Chain A
Amino acid sequence: MTTPSRRDLEQLSAYLDGQLTQSSQARLEIRIKSDPGLASALEQLRQTRAFLQRTPHRRAPRNFTLTPGMAGIRPPVPRLVPVLSWASAVAMLFFIFTLGAGLVGQLSVGRTASMHAAVPMGSGAGPLAAAPMAPSRGNPATVVPVVAAPAPLAPAATEALATSVPLAASSNPPAANQSVPPTPTLETSIKSAEQATPPAVSWLAQSPAVPKSLKRQVDYWLYIWPGMGVILGASAIAAYGLNKRAFQRKNPPG
């Protein structure tokens, strides 16, 4: 009877679990039959294993299921997000377009008004120039406040004044100017300067010199912008709500 070596114990343990090759198993079985020490060690290992296998199994004290928060899962990006991004870009383009169109419209209206004012003064007999001249003809003193009025104007207005006044002065004969001061030119210039100052929309809506089509366009966009904002906001909220509900349905809490 021999005390089994470490190598023998490994062989016996593997034999117990059926992990030896057929040839190794056959050789070991011959040794076990002839050596009571190996047979005893094998039996003790068998009993130890049986002992361990009978160890009671405990149930888990609680469930270890993961919540979306534990797993670090965030609700997916709403499917409408790319659409909304594009919608934002398009809205920005619309905004730039309408802003640009508004500015161009203002400039063109300003030029038109200046031209309307300047051309009759050049000829000296235009209807636009003649009409405002009539009331001031009998009272030259009224010219003074009108000329003094441009003081608080914007730089653009003073420029307009500077350019229009000499024009009017040079184009009109001195004799005519004595009796008819260049009041209409100044008034028109002040108006054109006012056109360059905000708020453009209120001015456009009120000014009699703005074409009706432009006024209509401005009124139209006043309704379109809030409408677009409401639609985009509502669609974003709806997309968020729908995705959140779908996510919660797929990954219930707890």
Chain B
Amino acid sequence: MDESVLILDAQHGDLQAFNTLVLAYQDVLFNTALRILNDEDQAADAVQDAFLSAFRALTSYRGGSFRAWLLRTVTNACYDELRRKKRRPTTPLEPETADGEDVESPHWLADTHASPEESLDQAELEHAVQHCLENLPADFRAVVVLADIQGLDYSEVAIAVHKPLGTIKSRLARARSRLRACLQSYRELLPAAFRLEEERSL
């Protein structure tokens, strides 16, 4: 069914129409929340909150990119979650060495299923990206996730983070620059395909 018709129906309180939109966008929202929060459970909570907020505020949607409008709700939910985490920091469940340093990739967190090489490469890549994203300030992280991972254009990102286009350009450039520096440190650890790509560029 046409998205605009579904939105219109949902604006008139049709929950079934809204749930059709939820099914269409839940992967995008979950991925965005996951990249910003780096925690599956928190990301799921943020997505659920976002859809709930979206349904309640659906009458305020006045056209334009519905994806960007939805991503704005999930970005706000992620910011709320990050603020909450900052107020009540949690201790990670990572074992420490005798020297008190965290053990990287502990065996009890490893995937026990036998995975093909490609999956391993993807996992390494994901780990590297996620680690570098986590080192970015939240505002920069949201912009780069929306633009480069979710593929939104500048105007959609501006809607999603509720900032002017100039701010988006500036934040995206700085975020990419910082990520570049971070990812270069992972070059040796990354799978061959990615490493060669990186080396070719240098």
Q: Which A positions have Cβ atoms within 8 angstroms of B?
A: 6, 9-10, 12-14, 17, 19, 40, 43-66, 68, 70-73, 250-252
Q: Taking the complex as formed, is B129 at the interface, i.e. its CB lies under 8 A from any CB of chain A?
A: yes
Given the known interface contacts A47-B198, A71-B52, the answer about A56 and B125 at a Cβ–Cβ threshold of 8 Å is yes
Q: Which residues of B contact A43 (CB under 8 A)?
A: 201
Question: Is B13 at the interface (CB under 8 A from chain A)?
Answer: yes
- Which residues from chain A contact B11 at a C-beta distance below 8 Å? none
B194 close to A13 (CB less than 8 A)? no
A141 to chain B, nearest CB (A): 86
What residues of A have a CB within 8 angstroms of the CB of B134 in the complex? none
Query: How many contacts between A and B, using CB within 8 angstroms?
Result: 124
Cβ contact of A49, chosen from B48, B148, B154, cutoff 8 A: B148
Residues of B within 8 Å of A64, CB to CB, are 22, 26, 29-30, 44, 47-48, 51
In Å, the complex CA distance between A50 and B200 comes to 13
CB < 8 Å: which of B27, B48, B179 contacts A52?
B179
Contacts of B15 in A (CB 8 A): 66, 68, 71, 73, 251
Contact A14 B13 (CB under 8 A): no
Beyond known contacts A45-B173, A65-B22: 7 more, CB 8 A cutoff: A6-B173, A56-B126, A57-B27, A59-B30, A61-B40, A66-B51, A68-B15
Inter-chain contacts of A63 with B (CB < 8 A): 22-23, 26
Contacts of A10 in B (CB 8 A): 169-170, 173-174
Min CB gap B62→A, angstroms: 21
Cα–Cα distance between A13 and B154 once the two chains are bound (Å): 12
User: Restricting to B37-63, which residues have a CB under 8 Å from any CB of A?
Assistant: 40, 44, 47-48, 51-52, 55-56
A65 touches B23 (CB 8 A): yes
Partner of B55 from the list A50, A66, A252 (CB cut-off 8 Å) is A66
Contact A17 B154 (CB under 8 A): yes
Query: Which of A17, A19, A52, A61 has the most C-beta atoms of chain B within 10 angstroms of its own C-beta?
Result: A52
Residue of A57, A64, A66 contacting most chain B CB atoms (<10 Å): A64
- Given that A59-B27, A62-B44 are known contacts, is A250 also in contact with B34, CB under 8 Å in the complex? no
A53 to B176, CA, bound (A): 12
Pair B169/A14 contact, Cβ less than 8 Å:
yes
**Could you give, for residues 169-188 of chain B, a 1 whenever the CB lies within 8 Å of some chain A CB and a 0 otherwise?**
11011101101100100000
Known: A45-B180, A47-B201, A49-B148. A60 touches B170 (CB 8 A): no
State whether the Cβ of B149 lies closer than 8 Å to any Cβ in chain A: yes
Query: Do B149 and A52 touch (CB < 8 A)?
Result: yes
Contact A73 B13 (CB under 8 A): yes
Residue of A nearest to B14 (CB): A250
CB neighbours of A71 from chain B (8 A):
15, 18, 52, 55-56
Cα distance A14–B131 in the bound complex, in angstroms: 25
- Which residues of the other chain, A, contact B148 by a CB distance below 8 angstroms? 49, 52-53
Nearest neighbor of B190 in chain A, beta-carbon distance: A51
Q: Known contacts A19-B154, A49-B148, A60-B47; is A9 also within 8 Å of B19 by CB?
A: no
Tell me the bound Cα distance from A55 to B186 in angstroms: 15
Chain B, residue nearest A46 (CB): B201
**Would you give the shortest CB distance from A222 to chain B, in whole angstroms?**
47
CA distance A65 to B198 in the complex (A): 41
Distance in angstroms between the alpha carbons of A68 and B169 in the assembled complex: 41
Whether A56 lies near B18 (C-beta < 8 A) is no
- Shortest CB-to-CB span from A52 to chain B, Å, is 4
Measured CB to CB, the closest approach of chain A to B57, in angstroms, equals 12
Contact check, A12 vs B55: say whether CB atoms are below 8 A apart. Answer: no
Q: A52-B149, A57-B31 are in contact. Are A9 and B201 (CB under 8 A)?
A: no
- A sample of 21 inter-chain contacts (CB < 8 A) reads A10-B174, A17-B153, A17-B154, A19-B154, A43-B201, A49-B176, A50-B197, A51-B179, A51-B183, A51-B194, A55-B125, A58-B30, A58-B34, A59-B30, A60-B26, A64-B26, A64-B44, A64-B47, A64-B51, A68-B15, A71-B15
